[in-house]
Structure 1
């Protein structure tokens, strides 16, 4: 597909009231009425109907119409103002809980007599946490959006227009209905237009229909019918691959066919990713547990005679201990790390949560051309007079050769003369490319490999007439004058159609009658090559009486020169990527508009199909299936190829797969793919060849258009999910260490808390966030693609994860409880005599905070692996984790020794013996976790154990 498709710049969309929308609909309705009426009008009447002329519009007329119809661009997706999007960050459930906590703490501060500075500090600290999380979340979303906007604006599009009778080049967004545009081969069609001049014009409608075959266009009136079938109209986003023409614009912006598909895409709901659903469930449960626990402890302590405000602040502290304040920020930044890693591997992810969703992908619905293949047609085999000739070389570079080119030289000469494409030599970083139809480009390359110069042959036998290809005849013919003044017609097209018009075959340059036996041999040769997934063209010639003979004389009594077989070579890296997806248990379904034989051949070459008889389903068969039958088909067919499908078929298949519980990734490049891309769990658009509509609908854009990048992205997504579980275990295990001492003190009758809410916030944000981020940056493990995808409804907090949280958190809790009560009892002071300013109490709560920080350092090392010993993985393989852990311990030391921080956190200095005790407790946690992993490894190695 052309890379010069219509682009649009990001625009701010104003809020529209009913009156504004009705005013906007009137010009759109007028454009749609014109679309249905114009094809049946004569050329002269087209100018009258559109209020234009052969000289085009004047500048004043164009300005007036632009004020009515607006710019020629698809409407920008409505995005909230930055301040509204920042405010939206506070609607997260964790943020709401913390905001309520902060407000209640402020209230407690004002109601307290005397007012406690510590209560105000707690309220401010909680508020700062919420603001920090909101800032990080907003920054990540804004950065991702700006990246996507830069992608949409990659290539500004211009077009040639007649204004005031003069030819001008203008931005495509300035076109209005009535403009006369000038089109040449290789141009993108900038709006919906009615042709008024056409000279051998043909268009590639792949962006709308998914089919890349050129379709002839005419300027004459055609009978009324469906707009897309009007042969004298061209549509925004398509390409003129041959010929030239002039056309009058009748549809711009949202009133084009592109706009219709855009509106269909906008109506499709965006699916929530598995992680979104699981984080929402987790947030509700954690928030509910925190509120319930805080309320229960308030009810227990309130009757004990404690001051109301102190009891209330104590309960808030318990609630804060249970809420992982650093989780939203940690999750966002960890996903952002995954985004950057994918970008380095040519996959741009527009939404952070989509990174994780990739890891749970169970089905990939992929198109063929450009994703599995290189989008470069290449002639690989020639057939003439019963003999096959191989052709080497790939792509449009004239590198390769034809085996025994003598007998097929006339075949290739005729094929090259019957072409409108042009080869463009390398320029700068641009390789050899084709201007025009890629099939014709492949014929020109093959002729060059046989020693022919197509330009020289064209000069020696100039073209005097052309009969363009159309879908009814399935043939294209050109008439040329030779050096002796005679005229020859050269014809190429579908072998069956061509053979029916042949009565002779070329044998060593002489015309010989075509017998029925030979005719059957030609059919068998064509079918054999088609069965290999090759696209086959027949080429013939005949001598004609004059320069412009009737079509029926040109395409009858032909002499068959031979057959040309070509294919679009698969990308060399795709087979390995497909094999990796197979090992990972990911099912690949090819969805294409191509012929079933071609689709199956490509699928076999890249490894998608291995069985002798895969299931091939056409769009017509899909139409005949109800939902239950479609579900049965998808469940019973492991190797499934969907061929000759329309956009509605693709969307229906995606919906059916999701109904079966699959996590579906869909690839696409055309506007016709956009509804399926948006409805899929992961929509993957092509960055180099894709349309704006497809890139807007997708959540991931492949910058290199290669399926291999999808496989890599899936592996990275799985790695991100594993890393998320690692830091969730790390974060939640220390919450147990914060909560258990508070509960123990309550039931032991100790009047004060072993750790204050401000200390908890310092641990959560000062000592835990950086190590959690370092865990989120753990590199992808080698075996990440050797296990099946996790079920769609698998919980983020599985039984194994919860068990590990309790195990590690319980060890930490026992350690900090021991050091706290040991310190309190060693002082010999009765519980009732302790006050907040007591030095022993301040030392004890400092020991608790430092104990949690030190044990978390060892905990971070422990959770890096599930079963493998951390010593085998290497203690130094994640230097960021070690640096983050040391930073946390250094911060704790500052809180213990720096007077201003002592005043804020009510801490006291610890002596070296205290630090030694805490280090021993942390090492004990690491030893216990290593023992647990050793047990799991022995169970896995047992004869009846599971695989590791």
Structure 2
């Protein structure tokens, strides 16, 4: 394909991947799988003809496109476009969209600027105050710097990175692979999912769901190419051998067929036309696969668009049979008889009309309808005087998990729009089946969207449930309109046609079986191609942001009481309540392991029962009241203890307040981790371990000679420890009561 140029002639046959965009010169029963480009779930029949210049891609029956696959027949074509000038290449150009910042990155930038300014002001104020009071310049500088370090959340980058990394690991276990770490949290603000139909909401595996003989109807269970399933009649599961016309219909479907059903790496797949593959799966469900191997194919009469049917002649036990499948009206035109309850009857006009009505009824429900007929062949014209057997209705079925996933989306305040390249009726039928489409909602065509001005589209975009026959341009236009309306949008897809919309979305979601172009344009890849996995990933995204918010709340609550206490002591011309090393030690112990453990918090079981948060809302907006109260409470406790014990000795008072500050923050971490009562939160073993290690180090700071000499501490008695833990416990209970009132 690298050497092809416009004007070259290419030969195409079953199994080939088309190397360039080309006009057809010859087409012999040529069908092409264009789902990768247009989202069309069925192979497209091609023919040599002249079409208007502006014919949409999915209606250009006289062209083949780069990247699509020949599923049946042969053809010859002249190359008209290569490389970036092909439809594939044009989509690749649309993918070149500059990536914006995630909500988390924006929040952290604002938080960083706020804390940075605060730190500078603290340094200047404390240093100036200390010098004004006649303090030593070096000591004053050390103290102001240590207080500034206390205010700086040096654990924040580590906590965020760890929270995102742990979230990514949990997502992989749920079959969601993140390509951009910073996008993990963005999932939590998604309030719109624009989902492709083929391969995401559906299996992208044609499945026979209905079988109609002249006077009986059967349902077929099972989904996709897996041969697990049953044929069910009015009386329940049926044995096909008890219904001669049903058995023969399935036999014809099995023998008038060129596809192959194979199991590869534990997954059933079809080589050849997906429609014929669906018929093989039906035969496997009826247990006719092995038996029908005894029938030897003698001749094949290929499908063509004029006859609208295909036939094979098969030999069995010395007899020959014509097996024919195709459009119902085509088969009726060459059928003279019909099989009813095992008996062959002459086909009259009333019967023909009844059969056609059956076909129309299935077609209105978006089924693809195929009829079947046969006869014993004794020579002459094969396709005449056939015995009509019945028809099947097949569809690309929805995944079983999608209905529940859509219910969760509704509960979580997330709206879903189906954007597909498939037919309008097919899209509506699938949307109804999964509960996406009801009395409310608007269905639009891709061409309508492309013709609309931005203002027109913005007025109706939130009413749209389905966009059918969507082009890459219309998908991008819909996503941009939703973003203008203030929504955070996740777009899913598997084909090349989905890549531009994925790139322009806040979160682009590619399916694992999709194209490399789509994966490169995405932020996340769902490995099991399942819509439900997207909802699970959103749940993880919300949980990750909750954990980051817990740390920020802890940071704002814990890091400013020491500053307030030091400034108060300065203003009252009392000894400093902390040494610079003690301030750094508090910061290390509390912003260290316990804070990191918050990143491993288990998710709240109710996380998907609330609406998505506003991405423009400050990360600290709802945390300030709690944080200010917690900081004030810690300050009051520490001031009381310091002033009360200062008469004993400054070193003793400093040690007591030092230990109280450390353990108050250790107690505080249990309160900030949940909006419920602290004892109702699920167990976090990492937090318990972190608290034990931090407590051990604090005891070493008091009693180990090496640490106590560096930190200038003195041993505390059991009475002192009782005072420390009593003060911290009372502080925790007061804080819990305030939190409960605040939430109410």
Q: TM-score, normalised by structure 1?
A: 0.69
Identify the match of residue 530 of structure 1 among 353, 363, 369.
363
In the superposition, relative to structure 1, how do residues 249 and 918 fare at CA in structure 2: closer, same or farther (>3 Å)? Answer: farther
In the superposition, relative to structure 1, how do residues 662 and 899 fare at CA in structure 2: closer, same or farther (>3 Å)? Answer: same
In the superposition, relative to structure 1, how do residues 650 and 754 fare at CA in structure 2: closer, same or farther (>3 Å)? Answer: same
Identify the match of residue 271 of structure 2 among 435, 438, 462.
435
C-alpha separation between the residues in 1 aligned to 2:156 and 2:553? 11
2:91 is matched with which residue? 261
1:884, CA displacement in angstroms? 0.9
C-alpha separation between the residues in 2 aligned to 1:454 and 1:862? 66
For 1:362-381, list aligned pairs within 5 A: 362-381=191-210
Contact 1:530 1:597 in 2 (8 A): no
For 1:340-739, list aligned pairs within 5 A: 340-385=169-214, 387-396=216-225, 397=227, 399-401=229-231, 403=233, 405-424=243-262, 426=263, 429-449=265-285, 452-453=288-289, 456=292, 459-467=295-303, 475-478=308-311, 480=313, 490-493=324-327, 498=330, 502=333, 506-508=337-339, 515=349, 521-539=354-372, 562-609=390-437, 611-612=438-439, 614-637=441-464, 640-687=465-512, 689-739=513-563
Q: SS in structure 1 opposite 2:479? A: helix
2:32 is matched with which residue? 203
Q: CA RMSD in A?
A: 4.0
C-alpha separation between the residues in 2 aligned to 1:200 and 1:756? 87
C-alpha separation between the residues in 2 aligned to 1:210 and 1:565? 20
C-alpha separation between the residues in 1 aligned to 2:620 and 2:10? 69
Contact 1:661 1:792 in 2 (8 A): no
Contact 1:729 1:805 in 2 (8 A): yes
Contact 1:476 1:492 in 2 (8 A): yes
1:250, CA displacement in angstroms? 11
- Which blocks of at least 5 consecutive residues in structure 1 are unaligned? 1-27, 44-181, 828-839, 941-948
C-alpha separation between the residues in 1 aligned to 2:28 and 2:307? 18
C-alpha separation between the residues in 1 aligned to 2:706 and 2:84? 62
Structure 1 stretch displaced more, 727-736 or 844-853: 844-853
1:507, CA displacement in angstroms? 1.9
C-alpha separation between the residues in 1 aligned to 2:207 and 2:376? 30
2:618 is matched with which residue? 795
Does the alignment pair 1:870 with 2:678?
Answer: yes
Contact 1:196 1:248 in 2 (8 A): yes
For 1:58-73, list aligned pairs within 5 A: none
How many residue pairs get aligned? The number is 727
In the superposition, relative to structure 1, how do residues 635 and 318 fare at CA in structure 2: closer, same or farther (>3 Å)? Answer: same
1:769 is matched with which residue? 592
In the superposition, relative to structure 1, how do residues 252 and 459 fare at CA in structure 2: closer, same or farther (>3 Å)? Answer: farther
Q: SS in structure 2 opposite 1:685? A: strand
C-alpha deviations, 1:708-764, integer Å up to 9, x for none?
2222222222222222222221122111212111221232234x6433444333333
Structure with more contact order per residue of length (Cα contacts < 8 Å, sep ≥ 6) = 2
Contact 2:36 2:515 in 1 (8 A): yes
Contact 2:511 2:528 in 1 (8 A): yes
Does the alignment pair 1:319 with 2:148?
Answer: yes
C-alpha separation between the residues in 2 aligned to 1:748 and 1:764? 25
C-alpha deviations, 1:78-110, integer Å up to 9, x for none?
xxxxxxxxxxxxxxxxxxxxxxxxxxxxxxxxx
1:252, CA displacement in angstroms? 8.8
1:649, CA displacement in angstroms? 1.6
1:309, CA displacement in angstroms? 4.2
1:588, CA displacement in angstroms? 1.4
Contact 2:338 2:388 in 1 (8 A): no
Structure 1 stretch displaced more, 753-762 or 801-810: 753-762
Does the alignment pair 1:782 with 2:605?
Answer: yes
Q: SS in structure 1 opposite 2:201? A: coil
In the superposition, relative to structure 1, how do residues 629 and 559 fare at CA in structure 2: closer, same or farther (>3 Å)? Answer: farther
1:810, CA displacement in angstroms? 1.1
In the superposition, relative to structure 1, how do residues 411 and 790 fare at CA in structure 2: closer, same or farther (>3 Å)? Answer: same
1:647, CA displacement in angstroms? 1.7
For 1:768-917, list aligned pairs within 5 A: 768-798=591-621, 800-827=622-649, 840-841=650-651, 843-866=652-675, 868-873=676-681, 877-902=683-708, 904-917=710-723
C-alpha separation between the residues in 2 aligned to 1:620 and 1:557? 45
C-alpha deviations, 1:413-447, integer Å up to 9, x for none?
444444321122x46x5243321222211112324
C-alpha separation between the residues in 2 aligned to 1:532 and 1:197? 34
1:301, CA displacement in angstroms? 4.2
Q: SS in structure 2 opposite 1:665? A: strand
In the superposition, relative to structure 1, how do residues 418 and 809 fare at CA in structure 2: closer, same or farther (>3 Å)? Answer: same
In the superposition, relative to structure 1, how do residues 196 and 519 fare at CA in structure 2: closer, same or farther (>3 Å)? Answer: closer
1:746 is matched with which residue? 570
In the superposition, relative to structure 1, how do residues 445 and 846 fare at CA in structure 2: closer, same or farther (>3 Å)? Answer: same
Q: SS in structure 1 opposite 2:391? A: strand
1:572, CA displacement in angstroms? 2.4
1:132 is matched with which residue? none
In the superposition, relative to structure 1, how do residues 653 and 232 fare at CA in structure 2: closer, same or farther (>3 Å)? Answer: closer
1:225, CA displacement in angstroms? 8.0
1:398, CA displacement in angstroms? 6.2
Q: SS in structure 1 opposite 2:169? A: helix
C-alpha deviations, 1:437-489, integer Å up to 9, x for none?
222111123245556559947954423442456xxx69453454778999958
1:703, CA displacement in angstroms? 1.7
C-alpha separation between the residues in 2 aligned to 1:758 and 1:254? 63
1:94 is matched with which residue? none
1:859, CA displacement in angstroms? 0.5
1:934, CA displacement in angstroms? 4.7
C-alpha deviations, 1:762-818, integer Å up to 9, x for none?
3333333221232222222222222222223222112x3110101111111222233
In the superposition, relative to structure 1, how do residues 758 and 351 fare at CA in structure 2: closer, same or farther (>3 Å)? Answer: farther
Q: SS in structure 2 opposite 1:811? A: helix
In the superposition, relative to structure 1, how do residues 283 and 490 fare at CA in structure 2: closer, same or farther (>3 Å)? Answer: same
1:299, CA displacement in angstroms? 4.2
- Which blocks of at least 5 consecutive residues in structure 2 are unaligned? 234-241
1:615, CA displacement in angstroms? 1.9
Contact 1:384 1:407 in 2 (8 A): yes
In the superposition, relative to structure 1, how do residues 545 and 407 fare at CA in structure 2: closer, same or farther (>3 Å)? Answer: closer
Does the alignment pair 1:37 with 2:7?
Answer: yes
Contact 1:326 1:764 in 2 (8 A): no
Q: SS in structure 2 opposite 1:443? A: helix
C-alpha separation between the residues in 2 aligned to 1:569 and 1:848? 67
In the superposition, relative to structure 1, how do residues 414 and 258 fare at CA in structure 2: closer, same or farther (>3 Å)? Answer: same
C-alpha deviations, 1:907-934, integer Å up to 9, x for none?
4444444333221221121110232245
1:111 is matched with which residue? none
Contact 1:42 1:221 in 2 (8 A): no
2:237 is matched with which residue? none
Q: Quick check: which one's strand share is greater?
A: 2
Contact 1:368 1:599 in 2 (8 A): yes
Contact 2:314 2:323 in 1 (8 A): no
